[in-house]
Structure 1
Amino acid sequence: MTCPFCYLEKGQILFENEDAVAFFDKFPVQKGHLLIIPKVHVETYFDASEQQIIAIHNLIKQGKALIDKQFSPDGYNIGVNIGYYGGQTVHHLHFHLIPRYKGDIEDPRGGVRKAIPNIVAYP
């Protein structure tokens, strides 16, 4: 199977640097949901070089500025799924930059801790 992130169309890319690209998620969980990936195929965060992680980090900050301007969110989640049991479905490292909005869920406390419901209660 071919990696969909290795063959992005130029029109999908919002911005890039030498080692990474950012684009809107095709299946967003919120308006403004971005994906940031290394240009060179690596499967997980743990396979990426320090240079790739720094490049991704820089685009996450650039992405936040873009989302702030276009969508004015009230908060953010940044996430990475690693491996099958971590929920990874595309095996090319990708960071999710997900804007959050007041009222999008009843109780936002715990944030990413709620990715695994009912295992540990949040105080």
Structure 2
Amino acid sequence: MQWYLAVLRNYAGFKGRAGGLEYWIFFLFQLVLLGGLYALGLWTGTLVPYAVYLAATFLPTLALTVRRLHDTGRTGWWALIGVVPIAGTLVVLAFMADEGELTENRFGPQPDRRRPPTFDARRTA
């Protein structure tokens, strides 16, 4: 849960790098929460909670994807390939599954892959 909350605290942090564990734990939580909200919406006849949650987490999800791309040595602009139906999504997922660079790269130092990142608002200002 700490990994999920760490991504939400760094709401629009596009700088730096994100390790694979941070990405995949957030992805799993998103999948479970969106699936549950969608099922609830079908049961109640309204998808408003699903749409609100999806809209509220769009920016942190995009920021995390960009940081994960940075960890693999790619620019965040590669996230745009995800708008291509099916093939684009598969390419982005393949990039996310790629092991990050194990040394410092042009996007920053290697993230700690064992602990959730801490967010310091002063550092991003």
TM-score by length of 2: 0.29
Greater relative contact order: 1 or 2 (C-alpha under 8 angstroms, separation 6 or more)? Answer: 2
Greater share of residues in helix:
2
More strand by percentage: 1
